[in-house]
Amino acid sequence: MITLSSTITFRRMKTIEIKGSFRTELGKKSSKEIRKTGNVPCVIYGKENNIHFYAHENSFKNLVYTSAAHLVKLIIEDKEYKAVLKDMQFHPVKDNILHADFIEIHDNKPVVINIPIKVSGDSVGVIAGGKLSIKKRRLKVKGLANDLPEVLPIDITELKIHEGIKVGELSYDKIELLDPKKSMVLTIATSRVAQKTDEEVLAETAAAEAAAAAAIASAGAGAAAAPETPAAK
């Protein structure tokens, strides 16, 4: 078992600023008109009420096209809100942003958010010919906004072939990991398995099945051709 230190240092989550305007009308027709102008319909889910607004799609570039998690400072006309991104919907063909959902946060109340992992170190298993296999690229954490990191660093230097890291083996200061402790985050696969593609595995399986079928057919033919033994008188 690999036990990781809870004293790993990491960079605090940065804040991205997005400016927008309150929506005066709701509904599909209004959302369609907003998208025609290059804006994105959005919602802030607050404890007391939800706030509907829109912001230009260019405002989301630093929030979407990044591997790190961020806090968001939403400036909507004369109001300011501190939030985290909950969900974002994209057009299935054009890939442009259709809708964004945010959750309002407060400095003195814990927030739940998915944060990406960041692997570091040269695994002794990889050096020996194994292959790193990442099972979970983001982990769900709970903590105060000021304690949230951009990424969750994981040092794999000591990992050997056949070894892996589970959620329960990770620990970070001031934040709680919410995924099941037995969930595997990453593993080092054997070089033999790592080098085989899915097609190669299927080909080997098909060849083995064909050989087995041929052997059965051959045995059956031999039995049919064998002369009957005369009955004892």
- What are the pLDDT digits (tens) for 87-118? 888 888 888 889 999 999 988 899 888 899 99
- The tens digit of pLDDT for each residue in 127-180 reads 988 899 999 999 999 999 888 888 999 999 999 999 999 999 999 988 999 999
- pLDDT level of residue 77 (50, 70, 90 thresholds): very high
Locate CATH 2.170.120.20 in the chain: 112-194
Handedness of CA 124, 127, 130, 134 (dihedral sign): positive
- The tens digit of pLDDT for each residue in 38-73 reads 999 999 998 778 999 999 999 998 888 877 788 899
Beta bridge partners of 133: 187
Locate CATH 2.40.240.10 in the chain: 15-105
Q: Does domain 15-105 have CATH number 3.20.20.140?
A: no
**What is 112-194's CATH superfamily?**
Ribosomal protein L25, C-terminal domain (2.170.120.20)
Q: Write phi, then psi, for 201 (nearest 5 degrees).
A: -65, -45
In this structure, are strands 111-120 and 138-143 parallel, antiparallel, or unpaired?
antiparallel
